[in-house]
């Protein structure tokens, strides 16, 4: 006999204003079951997960949790303000019988030391600390909302392995297809306020979804035909004294009401890419280029040719130098050694992962039109901005909405809409899949596949790389980059392994142990001097300030007409951007060096 569910939601409904966000949702999670919760951006997935966690009370419905069952919820925006450091935050999630060493283990695996102060954490570091806190007690039920956000490939693959080893039941929300395919055993689809369940993993979801929508469309056509037949009958009049006719008329009114209240499937993004004239056959040629910041080598003796039509994926752990490499290949930064030659007739569009080039004070319409008029030009054709917004699932009333109030997914769609409207033959995409729902990802993949130009792509999404990349450039450490033909899976097959953090950690442990053996006693170790302490304390704010300046310059350079209109300003902005990026890298290197020194001194 099957064990009773640990967590149950029955007929849950929630309305924010007009149309119900959740109309009638059901959820039942058995012990040890791994289910994924899928649906379009804005469909209410995160809200349903919060209801399941008990953080939001539904307008209607029943929530039941087995007595004694423990639940841990991973929030998208955790609050660590009440804790001294990340270790204290994670340890606060442990129960009386939990292993206290697990907190440090999880923080280490997620790239944190435990000594980070909440005020100095980036958004990604805060999310990783929250993930460690959720995993630390090994609860009965894990509710994880986008756990792979801000994780690099090694961390994602480690997280998969860690979750597979847990006995906890799980409900996962993620845009990472491979992650869901590898972990899920059941699929819950939240669509137009209703939930549907399939007792199979995410790998079978798309075929099932298409069958459901096709049947729904067939049922709608049947209803329309029946309505038409009943309307013809109605034209000949109804005798009110005959009960059968009265009942038939009542059924007709009910069918009309059903037709009016039917919520059609949410539309899909309609991506149209404005392509410019072809570039030359050679797009980028790098000859023995190297780049280092102090003792940190990011690129060493790399030679590479990118030809028209190539789709180059760049992968590696965080800090490997992926963004630096892109800057070198596109001419934004200069190598220390070697040279980079760009092809002729290049028109480049860059989509940055931090969305820094979006002005938070500008409206959606102003962002798409550049503040000039109410039309957008795409491939030589003019389109009204509201019509173009609808292609990317923005409602007409959002035309005057400031960028600052948009969700992460909406900002990414807005970045895509603005970038794709500009003529290009070279697309540079830095983590374009962040916060995109699965349907939008499908269309982005199709667009890249059909694009006649060249694509340079940085991504931690293995499935996305498999579907789009013609070759993958992988960081092998110490500034060495090697190119493999095919997508991510092809690279793993040729290389024998993915980009795994555990391999690096094992290699580094003996070195750390050797240093510990020759280290002097703690009493004789030197202390950090005033300048080192001051730098360690002030560098995070300084790095944030530099990043803000980089964002403003990137916004200036995003204007495709700038070079033709004001070459001098373009050159100054480019030079300033390169200098700031170098300054940021040097600051990051100095901060990392001081953190390591601090850890060594403190034992």
User: Residue 243 has what pLDDT?
Assistant: 47
For residue 594, the number of C-alpha atoms closer than 13 Å in the C-beta half-sphere is: 19
> Would you say residue 438 lies in a domain?
yes
User: Residue 352 has what pLDDT?
Assistant: 66
Strands 426-430 and 454-458: parallel
User: Residue 505 has what pLDDT?
Assistant: 36
> Would you say residue 267 lies in a domain?
no
**Degrees to nearest 5, angle at CA 263 with 260 and 267:** 130
150 & 234 share domain: no
11 & 158 share domain: yes
Looking only at Cα atoms, what is the longest distance across the chain? 106
DSSP, res 9: E
342 & 454 share domain: yes
Final residue belonging to a domain, choices 501, 532, 554: 501
Q: Is 137 annotated as a binding residue?
A: no
Q: Is 39 annotated as a binding residue?
A: yes
> Would you say residue 275 lies in a domain?
no
324 & 429 share domain: yes
449 & 566 share domain: no
199 & 222 share domain: no
Q: Packing angle between helix 153-164 and helix 101-109, nearest 10 degrees? A: 140
Q: Is 50 annotated as a binding residue?
A: no
- Look at the block and give the residue holding tokens 């009114």: 253
Q: Is 322 annotated as a binding residue?
A: yes
Q: List, run by run, the mean pLDDT of 10-residue segments along the chain (603 residues).
A: 84 80 92 92 86 93 93 84 90 84 89 87 82 90 90 87 92 92 94 91 89 78 63 52 52 56 51 60 93 88 93 88 90 92 87 68 88 77 84 83 78 79 85 74 81 89 91 91 92 81 38 38 52 79 84 75 74 75 75 74 66
Residue ranges making up the domain that contains 255: 215-261
> Would you say residue 371 lies in a domain?
yes
CA distance 261 to 533: 64
Q: Is 40 annotated as a binding residue?
A: yes
Residue 577 — φ and ψ, nearest 5°? -65, -45
C-alpha 46 chain-centroid distance: 15
CA distance 20 to 588: 47
> Would you say residue 476 lies in a domain?
yes
Pure H helices in 4-122 = 45-53, 86-91, 101-109
User: Residue 295 has what pLDDT?
Assistant: 81
Q: Is 43 annotated as a binding residue?
A: yes
> Would you say residue 513 lies in a domain?
no
**Is the distance from CB of 134 to CB of 53 less than 8 angstroms?**
no
Return the CATH number at 551: 1.10.287.380
Return the CATH number at 86: 3.40.50.300
> Would you say residue 512 lies in a domain?
no
292 & 409 share domain: yes
Write the burial class of residue 228 (CB in 10 Å: 0-12 exposed, 13-18 middle, 19+ buried): exposed
Final residue belonging to a domain, choices 261, 292, 327: 261
315 & 432 share domain: yes
Q: Is 432 annotated as a binding residue?
A: no
- The string of DSSP letters for 108-177 reads HHTT--S---GGG--HHHHHHHHHHHHHTT--SEEEEESTTTT--HHHHHHHHHHHHT--SEEEEE-S-H
Q: Is 320 annotated as a binding residue?
A: yes
**Is the distance from CB of 375 to CB of 384 less than 8 angstroms?**
yes
Q: Is 42 annotated as a binding residue?
A: yes
Q: Is 46 annotated as a binding residue?
A: yes
Pure H helices in 330-407 = 364-369, 385-391
Final residue belonging to a domain, choices 443, 471, 501: 501
User: Residue 522 has what pLDDT?
Assistant: 37
446 & 392 share domain: yes
Q: Is 319 annotated as a binding residue?
A: yes
Count how many domains the chain has: 4
Write the burial class of residue 96 (CB in 10 Å: 0-12 exposed, 13-18 middle, 19+ buried): exposed
352 & 442 share domain: yes
CA distance 8 to 4: 10
12 & 104 share domain: yes
**Is the distance from CB of 69 to CB of 5 less than 8 angstroms?**
no
> Would you say residue 393 lies in a domain?
yes
In this structure, the number of other CB atoms found within 10 A of the CB of residue 471 comes to 17
User: Residue 30 has what pLDDT?
Assistant: 94
Tokens of 236: 């000949």
314 & 166 share domain: no
- Look at the block and give the residue holding tokens 């490997």: 320
Q: Is 564 annotated as a binding residue?
A: no
User: Residue 388 has what pLDDT?
Assistant: 84
Residue 317 — φ and ψ, nearest 5°? -70, 160
CA distance 316 to 327: 16
């Amino acid at each position: 006999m099957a064990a009773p569910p640990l967590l149950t939601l029955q007929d849950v409904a929630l309305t924010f204003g007009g149309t119900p966000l959740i109309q009638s949702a059901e959820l039942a999670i058995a012990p040890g079951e791994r289910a994924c919760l899928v649906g379009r951006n804005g469909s209410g997935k995160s809200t349903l997960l919060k209801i399941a966690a008990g953080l939001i009370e539904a307008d209607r419905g029943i929530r039941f949790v087995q007595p004694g069952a423990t639940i841990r919820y991973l929030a998208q925006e955790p609050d660590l303000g009440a804790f001294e450091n990340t270790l204290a935050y994670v340890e606060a999630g442990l129960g009386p019988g939990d292993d206290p060493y697990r907190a440090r283990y999880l923080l280490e695996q997620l790239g944190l030391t435990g000594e980070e102060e909440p005020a100095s954490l980036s958004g990604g570091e805060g999310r990783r600390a929250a993930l460690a806190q959720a995993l630390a007690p090994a609860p009965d039920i894990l509710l994880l909302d986008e756990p792979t956000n801000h994780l690099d490939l090694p961390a994602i693959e480690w997280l998969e392995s860690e979750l597979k080893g847990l006995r906890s039941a799980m409900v996962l929300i993620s845009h990472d297809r491979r992650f869901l395919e590898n972990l899920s055993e059941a699929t819950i689809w939240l669509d137009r306020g209703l939930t549907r369940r399939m007792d199979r993993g995410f790998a079978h979801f798309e075929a099932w979804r298409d069958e459901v929508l096709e049947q729904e469309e067939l049922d709608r056509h049947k209803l329309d035909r029946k309505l038409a037949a009943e309307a013809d009958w109605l034209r000949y009049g109804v005798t009110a004294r005959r009960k059968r006719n009265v009942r038939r008329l009542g059924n007709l009114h009910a069918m009309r009401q059903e037709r009016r209240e039917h919520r059609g499937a949410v539309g899909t993004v309609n991506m149209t890419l404005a392509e410019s004239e072809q570039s030359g056959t050679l797009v980028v040629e790098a000859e023995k280029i190297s780049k280092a910041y102090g003792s940190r080598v990011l690129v060493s003796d790399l030679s590479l040719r990118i030809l028209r039509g190539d789709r180059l994926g760049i992968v590696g752990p965080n800090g490997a130098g992926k963004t630096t490499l892109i800057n070198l290949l596109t001419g934004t930064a200069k190598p220390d050694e070697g040279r980079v030659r760009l092809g002729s007739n290049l028109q480049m569009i860059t989509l940055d992962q931090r969305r820094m080039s979006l002005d938070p004070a500008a409206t959606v319409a102003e962002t798409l039109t550049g503040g000039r008029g109410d039309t957008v030009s795409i491939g030589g054709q003019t389109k009204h901005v509201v019509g173009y917004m609808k292609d990317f699932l923005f409602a007409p009333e959002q035309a005057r909405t400031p960028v600052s109030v948009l969700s992460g997914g909406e900002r990414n769609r807005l970045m895509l809409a603005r970038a794709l409207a500009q003529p290009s033959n070279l697309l540079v995409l830095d983590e374009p899949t962040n916060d995109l729902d699965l349907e939008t990802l499908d269309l982005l993949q199709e667009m890249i596949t059909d694009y006649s130009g060249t694509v340079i792509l940085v991504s931690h999404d293995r499935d996305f790389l498999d579907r789009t990349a013609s070759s993958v450039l992988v960081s092998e450490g110490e500034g060495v980059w090697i190119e493999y033909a095919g997508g991510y899976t092809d690279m793993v097959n040729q290389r024998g392994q993915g980009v795994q953090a555990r391999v690096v950690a094992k290699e580094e442990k003996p070195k750390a142990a050797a240093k510990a053996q020759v280290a002097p006693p703690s009493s004789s170790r030197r202390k950090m001097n005033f300048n080192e302490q001051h730098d360690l304390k002030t560098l995070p704010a300084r790095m944030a300030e530099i990043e803000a300046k980089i964002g403003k310059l990137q916004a200036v350079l995003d204007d495709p007409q700038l070079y033709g209109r004001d070459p001098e300003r373009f050159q100054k902005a480019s030079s300033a951007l390169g200098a700031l990026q170098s300054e940021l890298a040097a600051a990051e290197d100095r901060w990392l060096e001081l953190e390591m020194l601090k850890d060594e001194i403190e034992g």
